[in-house]
């Protein structure tokens, strides 16, 4: 056991996050995302929601401050507005980022392509639709 480490951050997840370098990407995805097809390492967090997963991940994972939008969000096929889940992830990420933060929206089919460049896929059992995000790592 470690002190002051969010229990959602398993040893495997902490190791994977730590080994990522500046500019590398991770995808934080919901239960419907086809994670195995991305080709990246997949870590399943089990029965937690995406906002809870974001709290744990963004507590230790610095977002890239050298680009304007280091956080991408899958856009719904019908281009519906952000959901409370989307807003929750943005709020959590913004608390840990030194600059104002906005999502870069990416259409669902393009998100799948972009996710193939991710080094790590973190999947939880979130059931809110289109709750998939890509984050680019910054420096500390």
Just list the catalytic residues.
Answer: 22
Q: What is the DSSP string of the chain?
A: --TTS-TTS-HHHHHHHHH--TT-EEEEE-TTS-GGGG-SEEEEEES--HHHHHHHHHTT-PBPSSSS--EEEEEPTT-PPPPHHHHHHHHHHHHT-SS---PEEEEHHHHHHHHTT-SEEEEE---STT--EEEEB---
Strands 71-75 and 133-136: antiparallel
């Amino acid at each position: 056991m470690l002190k002051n480490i969010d229990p959602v951050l398993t040893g495997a997840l902490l190791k994977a996050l730590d080994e990522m370098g500046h500019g590398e990407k991770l995808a934080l995805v919901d239960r419907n995302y086809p994670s195995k097809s991305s080709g990246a390492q997949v870590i399943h967090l089990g029965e937690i929601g995406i906002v809870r997963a974001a709290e744990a991940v963004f507590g230790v994972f610095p977002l890239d401050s050298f680009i304007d939008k280091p956080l991408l969000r899958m856009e719904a096929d019908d281009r519906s507005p952000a959901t409370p889940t989307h807003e929750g992830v943005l709020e959590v990420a913004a608390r840990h980022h030194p600059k104002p933060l906005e999502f870069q929206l990416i259409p669902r089919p393009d998100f799948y392509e972009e996710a193939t460049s991710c080094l790590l896929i973190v999947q939880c059992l979130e059931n809110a639709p289109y709750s998939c995000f890509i984050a680019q790592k910054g420096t500390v």
